[in-house]
Amino acid sequence: MEIKPAKKWYLIGRLSLFMAGPVIAFTYSHLPLFSVMDYCSIMLAAAWLYLSVEDTFNLSVPAYALYFVGVFTLIFAIMQQKEIFDYLLITSSLACIFCTVWCVQRLRKKMLMGPADLIAIVSLGFTLAPQTLGLWIIIACALPLIGMIANRELWSQKIPFIPYLTASWLLVSILD
């Protein structure tokens, strides 16, 4: 699927405007860069922004990049040294999210989320605190709904979900 040059610049403009606020707030919240974790979080944000751009343009992401960024994100989550109870809470919350998505997909007999979206949810979810996980999912799901309602777009068209996950992750991770 080739994107026309005019539409490509339109998408670049929309994505830049959409991501500018979360990126600026996230970067500002980590300044000054004192620790290795601050540098890692900035690099992690840049990697997820790359995947967001790929998902916006192609409605898919390169598998090698997704796996690399997903593993890097999970290593970052381990480096945060949370308590084991927090990881158990996050795991149970993510299991509930996946069960809900699976049930809705079975009822509608239609694929609602791709495997890349599920990998992104797991990877980014483990970097957040358990109490912010719900807020992150609510924001990530509300952003595309607001955009579709405002633009009067069709509900049946495919939308890239990784940019919404990334933007909401950038905003919610400021609260941690």
Instruction: Write down the residue that tokens 């905003």 correspond to.
Output: 171
Rounded mean pLDDT, 103-116: 89
Query: What is the value of pTM for the model shown?
Result: 0.88
Looking at the 3D structure of the chain, how many domains does it have? 1
* Per-residue model confidence as pLDDT tens digits over 81-106: 889 999 999 999 999 999 999 999 99
Helices marked H in 81-161: 84-108, 115-125, 130-151
| Domain residue limits at 59 | 5-172
Residue 47 has pLDDT above 70, yes or no: yes
The stretch 19-43 carries a mean pLDDT of 88
Q: Which residue has the higher pLDDT, 153 or 103?
A: 103
For residue 137, the SS3 value is helix
Q: Is the pLDDT of residue 8 over 70?
A: no
Eight-class DSSP state of 60: S
Check whether 29 has a pLDDT greater than 80.
yes
Whether the per-residue pLDDT at 4 is higher than 70: the answer is no
pLDDT tens-place string over residues 50-75: 999 999 888 899 999 999 999 999 99
Contact indicator for 49, 19 with CB cutoff of 8 Å: yes
Torsion of CA 132, 138, 95, 75, to 10 degrees: -50
Pick the range with the lowest mean pLDDT from 45-49, 129-133, 145-149.
Answer: 145-149
